[in-house]
Amino acid sequence: MLQLLGLSKQFPGVKALDNVSLSIHAGEIHALCGENGAGKSTLMNILTGNLQPDTGQILLNQQPIQISGPAQATELGIAIVYQQLSLIDGLTVAENIFANRQPRTSLGLIQYKALYQQTQQLLNQLALTDLHPQTRVADLSPGQKQMVEIAKALSQNPDILLLDEPTASLTGRETDILFSLLRQLKAQGKAIVYISHRLAEIFALADVVSVLKDGRYQATERVSNVTYDWLIGRMVGREITMDKSASVATKDVLLQVENLSGERFQHISFHLHRGEILGLAGLVGAGRTEIARAIFGIDAHSSGTIRLKGQTVQIKHPADAVQLGIGYLPEERKRLGLFMEQSVAQNIVTACPPAKGLWFDAGKVKTVSESFREQLGIRTPSVQERVGNLSGGNQQKTMLARWLLANPDVLIVDEPTHGIDIGGKAEIYALLRQLAAQGKGIILISSELPELLALSDRILVIREGELAGELNGANATEKEIMTLATK
C-alpha cells in the first residue's frame, strides 16, 4: 500500500533520515523501532506532510505522491496518533475529534446536536464510556486525552494509520481496547504503522518489525522470526542491562509527609530516607501525580503536614519547594516541564539561573549547558537549539539536567521514561541511581511495574487516592503491586 524509497532529511547539524526505504502492506501491523533520535518521528512527520524530505520518493498504491501538508495526508487516507498530543485544552472532546470537520448548516454554522451525536457514536464504538462529547479536554487525565487523540485519528476512517507511542499514558484496560481496535482495522485491510518503545507490545501485536538507528534503516523481519535480544541489538548496538542494584538508602529521614489530603487523595503518610528511591505505584488516576503536585506546591492541600529534614515547611508555590531543595520532573514534559520554544540552554538554567553579581551570566549559561550536554549525552547540534526540535528522550534529559544543576535534596520524578527507548531508559536509571548514591531522596512515580521493581527500595501503592499498602522493593512482585492497586 505504501512504499518509501530512499528518504533523507537533514536538519542543522543532524541527519535525521539517511536513505531510508520501507514497504507497508495492507492488512498488516508494521512496528517501527529505534532509540530516541533514530528518525521515527521525522519519518511520521514526512508521511503526514508536516515535513518534506530532502530526497527520496513516496508511492501510495504504486503511484508517486507528494504530501504537501496534513490536510492532503487526510485526503490520501493517512491519519496519525501523535506521541505529543495535538489536542486543544480549551475545546470539548467533540470539537477536538472533528476539528475542521464539524457538521454545519447551509449558513456554515456548526450543528452541535449532530456533532455530539457523531462523537457519542464514535466513543461507544471505542468503548470509551467514561468520556463525554461535551467535556473540556483540559479536564481529562493524560490517558483519557490519549484516547481522544486515537478517536480523532479513527474518526477519519483512514486506510493507513500511524501511531507514535500510543499507549504511553494508557491504563491496561485502555491498551486492551486499543489493541482490539487495531486488530479489527487490520482485518478490514488497513495498513498500520506502530511505534513503541515497549517491546512486549510489539511481540504481542505486530506482524512485521523494522528498525532504524541514527536515521539509517537497519532491518525488517517477521516478528515471529525474531527475539528480544535480536531487536535490542539492532536498535542499540550495545548490551543493555536493567538489573536491580543494591540499595544505598540510609536511616536519615529527608522528607516526612503526615496525613496529607487534597484533591483526589486523602490521609497520605510516608517518609523518604536519604539515598532512597521510593516508588509510587497505582493505576492511572489513582492520585499519585496529585500527591506529587501538592508536595511541590503546584496544587494546594487541604490538610496535613510536610517536614523536610525534621522541620515543618509551608510550600504554597513551586518557588518555595525549589528554595527548600525539592525538585519535580512532571509527567507531561511538553505541556508542564519544558519551554518548547526556548533553547536547550535556557531550559536547563530555568530553576537556577547563573548570575554574575546582580546580572544574568549568559557566558556561564553556555558553559553549564555544554557540561550537562556532554555528561548526559543530550543529542543536539547545539545547546542553542530549540528544545522542541529534540527527540523525547533528549527532552527528558534536558529536564533532568535542570534539576542536576539546581541540586535538590528531594527529587520527584513522574513517569521519567515516558516515551523513551530502552537505551535511554537504562541511562536515566543509571542517573537516578547515581543521584541516590549522592544522598538524594527520590520519589519515583511510574506505571511501568518492571521499572518500579528495578529501581525502588520501597514501593507505596496508591488506590483511589489512599495508601493501599507498602512493599519491600527487594522482593516485591508485579502480582503483589497489582493486587494492592486493584482489590
**362: phi then psi, degrees, rounded to nearest 5:** -65, -35
Extract the C-alpha cell encoding 378: 543530550
Rounded to two decimals, the pTM is 0.63
Q: Could you tell me the pLDDT band of residue 150, with boundaries at 50, 70 and 90? A: confident
Residues 184 and 318 placed together within one structural domain of the fold:
no
pLDDT beyond 90 at 360: no
Question: Can you tell me the distance from the alpha carbon of 293 to that of 315, in angstroms, rounded to the nearest whole number?
Answer: 11
Let me know: does 160 contact 193? Beta carbons within 8 Å: yes
- Among 236, 268, 291, which residue terminates a domain? 236
Let me know: does 60 contact 41? Beta carbons within 8 Å: no
pLDDT beyond 90 at 21: yes
Question: Can you tell me the distance from the alpha carbon of 379 to that of 398, in angstroms, rounded to the nearest whole number?
Answer: 10
Specify the pLDDT at position 238: 60
Question: Can you tell me the distance from the alpha carbon of 328 to that of 98, in angstroms, rounded to the nearest whole number?
Answer: 35
Residues 226 and 355 placed together within one structural domain of the fold:
no
Extract the C-alpha cell encoding 138: 483540559
Let me know: does 34 contact 41? Beta carbons within 8 Å: no
Residues 179 and 208 placed together within one structural domain of the fold:
yes
Measured from the Cβ of residue 392, the count of other Cβ atoms closer than 10 Å reads 24
Specify the pLDDT at position 268: 96
The enclosing domain of 401 has a CATH number of: 3.40.50.300
Query: For residue range 289-338, what is the model confidence (pLDDT) as tens digits?
Result: 999 999 999 999 999 999 999 999 999 999 999 999 999 988 877 778 88
Residues 138 and 272 placed together within one structural domain of the fold:
no
Q: Could you tell me the pLDDT band of residue 286, with boundaries at 50, 70 and 90? A: confident
- Among 236, 261, 293, which residue terminates a domain? 236
Specify the pLDDT at position 103: 87
pLDDT beyond 90 at 207: yes
Specify the pLDDT at position 226: 93
Query: For residue range 218-254, what is the model confidence (pLDDT) as tens digits?
Result: 999 999 999 988 888 888 766 555 567 788 999 999 9
Residues 266 and 153 placed together within one structural domain of the fold:
no
Q: Between 351 and 473, whose confidence is greater?
A: 473
Q: How large is the average pLDDT for residues 416-437?
A: 83
The CA distances from residue 219 to 25, 198, 216, 452, in Å, are 16, 18, 10, 32
Coil, strand, or helix at residue 390? coil
Specify the pLDDT at position 487: 67
Contacts of 376 by beta carbon, 8 Å cutoff, 6+ apart: 397, 400, 401, 404, 427, 431
Residues 92 and 227 placed together within one structural domain of the fold:
yes
Domain count, the chain: 2
pLDDT beyond 90 at 440: yes
Mean pLDDT value across the chain:
88
- By CB atoms closer than 10 A (0-12, 13-18, 19+), residue 108 is exposed
Specify the pLDDT at position 322: 92
Residues 298 and 212 placed together within one structural domain of the fold:
no
Question: Can you tell me the distance from the alpha carbon of 9 to that of 387, in angstroms, rounded to the nearest whole number?
Answer: 19
Give the orientation angle of helix 228-236 with respect to helix 422-437, to 10 degrees. Answer: 80
Residues 458 and 414 placed together within one structural domain of the fold:
yes
Quote the percentage of the chain above a pLDDT of 90.
51
Residues 225 and 289 placed together within one structural domain of the fold:
no
Tell me the Ramachandran region of residue 426: left when phi exceeds 0, alpha when psi lies from -120 to 50, beta otherwise: alpha
Query: For residue range 120-131, what is the model confidence (pLDDT) as tens digits?
Result: 998 988 778 888
Q: Is residue 17 part of a domain?
A: yes
Measured from the Cβ of residue 468, the count of other Cβ atoms closer than 10 Å reads 18
Strand 63-65: give its sheet, edge to edge: 14-24, 2-11, 55-60, 63-65
Extract the C-alpha cell encoding 448: 511501568
Q: CA-based angle 79:388:220, to the nearest 5? A: 50
Q: Is residue 244 part of a domain?
A: no
Q: How large is the average pLDDT for residues 108-119?
A: 91
pLDDT beyond 80 at 391: no
Q: Is residue 247 part of a domain?
A: no
Q: Is residue 140 part of a domain?
A: yes
Q: How much of the chain is in helix, strand and coil states, percent to nearest 5?
A: 35, 30, 35
Specify the pLDDT at position 375: 84
Q: Between 227 and 12, whose confidence is greater?
A: 227
Specify the pLDDT at position 425: 81
Residue matched to cell numbers 523513551: 420
Residues 220 and 318 placed together within one structural domain of the fold:
no
pLDDT beyond 70 at 84: no
Residues 165 and 79 placed together within one structural domain of the fold:
yes
Separation of first and last alpha carbons in the chain: 46
Amino acid at 241: T
Q: How large is the average pLDDT for residues 363-387?
A: 87
Question: Can you tell me the distance from the alpha carbon of 242 to that of 381, in angstroms, rounded to the nearest whole number?
Answer: 29
Amino acid at 382: S
- Among 211, 236, 261, which residue terminates a domain? 236
Specify the pLDDT at position 160: 95
Domain that holds residue 332: 253-486
Residues 140 and 286 placed together within one structural domain of the fold:
no
pLDDT beyond 60 at 356: yes
Query: For residue range 375-385, what is the model confidence (pLDDT) as tens digits?
Result: 888 888 889 99
